[in-house]
Amino acid sequence: MSRRPVLRGLRANVVAAFAAGALLISLILAFSTYFSARHYLIVQRERNALQQAYIDAALVKERLRTNGVNVAEVLSEIAPPRRTTVFVHQDGQWYSSDLTTQVHDATSNVATSVEAGEVALTWTDTGNRPNIVVGVPLEGVDADYYEVTHAKELSETLDTMGYSLAISAAITTLAGGVLGWYAARRVLRPLRQVALAAARISAGELDTRVEATDDPDLATLTGSFNTMVDTVVERLDHDARFAADVSHELRTPVATLTTSLGVLQGDSTLSPSSATAVGLMAGELDRFRGALEDLITLGRLDAGVRESEWEVLGVADLVAATLAEAEIDDRVTVDVPADLAIYADRLQVHRALANLVRNAETHGGGLTAVRAIARRGYAEIHVSDSGPGVPAAERERIFDRFARMGARGATTGSGLGLSIVEQTAQLHDGSVWCREADSGGADFVLSFPLAPTARTAAAREAT
């Protein structure tokens, strides 16, 4: 069953959580602010409308008590507030200060209560126009007084406040997301440091540690990581010392056995079967001695021990000496620029080249070419063979210690030669990798930094 893909990372989750929290809080505050303000403004407006209606109704009532004054004259004398229409109902007749407003639409909701002798107030909405309607019975003059006030400014105020709160909520949500991004960055910074440190350690920089922090919550993480690395490095050093000690301790008995077998091989009195057995023992002992020497070499490389002084070395001379030592004939193509030079330990680089040549001859069907080029500040030495090549899936694992893979691992050998090459390259700030040669075989590329100037070389030697 396939795993469900991860759609969001930890940082995205933190940002989303902060943004959602900011949105929720801003919405709660916005709604509470809006409805509280709305309630206050409406109550205040209704109170003002009632007060104004009482004052105007008292004035109309007083004027109607004057003999000879009719309703129309009274309405023409009063000055109602702006956006307010006045209606008076007397003796079955309606009188209005504004002929454009429909009496029934404006007063129908409160007329029944007012006719029953009660003061009434309601809101109406005519043509998207909110209105406050106040009805006051005029006792003693047998009339009812109504004021209809258009509350457009209140509606606009509430709309503006709603838009402002919505914009504020959006800005708050955005600010919450930014704050979440910043918080996630601060929280994940130690994890990034741990990840970078782990990557450097896996690349061979075993002295890498995570910087200590004063944060008590993060100090446990960094402290545990550094302690773990110290333990691993200590275990590796212990294993390396153990292997080196064992290798050194075995040197003397192996030398004794080699000498003894040499004497036995020279004994003409041995029977054919005994001579064959001695020969087989000598071959296995020679193979064991080679593995022992390789282990000792790896121990020195792991410890960073120099076997000779670092110096500027011509790559062409190194290749020529290596091929001559391996007794490689002219069938091998050699293409190395005469001016290509590196700054390195001569013995270690010579051994690494010799291991690649021996690997091509022994496991790769024979050496076909040795070429070298300068690329991006490095000297790349290509050692190609005519063998079956190395499968892509095994091109990194082939440098592991005691690695034997496929057809290339069928022959005898310690399985440490390529590991020595890799350790040598890393000790010189270089690298080694395997790719497919143009001829179909394997092409091992050994890369070293180009030689610096004489002054830089001297400074590097001093350090």
**Averaged over 45-51, what is the pLDDT?**
89
**Averaged over 28-37, what is the pLDDT?**
91
In a domain, 339, yes or no: yes
For residue 253, give the amino acid letter: P
Q: Got the DSSP string for 189-255?
A: HHHHHHHHHHHHHHTT-TT--PPP-S-HHHHHHHHHHHHHHHHHHHHHHHHHHHHHHHHHHHHHHHH
Q: Does an H or E element contain 90, and which?
A: strand 84-90
Of 256, 280, 302, the domain-final residue: 302
Tell me, yes or no, whether 324 and 442 share the same domain. Answer: yes
Q: How many domains, in total, are found in the chain?
A: 3
Tell me, yes or no, whether 135 and 265 share the same domain. Answer: no
The predicted structure's pLDDT at residue 167? 92
CATH number at residue 239: 1.10.287.130
Tell me, yes or no, whether 339 and 425 share the same domain. Answer: yes
CATH number at residue 392: 3.30.565.10
The predicted structure's pLDDT at residue 224? 84
Domain membership of residue 256 as a residue range = 216-302
Assign 55 a pLDDT band (cuts: 50, 70, 90): confident
Tell me, yes or no, whether 292 and 314 share the same domain. Answer: no
Tell me, yes or no, whether 414 and 313 share the same domain. Answer: yes
Mean pLDDT, the chain, integer: 80
Q: Does an H or E element contain 272, and which?
A: helix 272-303
Tell me, yes or no, whether 312 and 343 share the same domain. Answer: yes
- Is the pLDDT confidence value at 406 over 60? no
The predicted structure's pLDDT at residue 5? 46
- Write the pLDDT tens digit of every residue in 163-192: 999 999 899 989 988 988 888 887 777 778
Tell me, yes or no, whether 58 and 108 share the same domain. Answer: yes
In a domain, 192, yes or no: no
Per DSSP, 54 falls in state: H
In a domain, 191, yes or no: no
- Secondary structure of residue 439 in the 3-state scheme: coil
- Write the pLDDT tens digit of every residue in 153-166: 888 888 899 999 99
Of 273, 302, 331, the domain-final residue: 302
- Write the pLDDT tens digit of every residue in 213-246: 777 777 787 888 888 888 888 887 777 677 667 6
In a domain, 166, yes or no: no
Tell me, yes or no, whether 88 and 147 share the same domain. Answer: yes
Tell me, yes or no, whether 430 and 453 share the same domain. Answer: yes
In a domain, 193, yes or no: no
Assign 36 a pLDDT band (cuts: 50, 70, 90): very high
Of 113, 142, 157, the domain-final residue: 157
Share of residues in the chain with pLDDT > 70 (%):
83
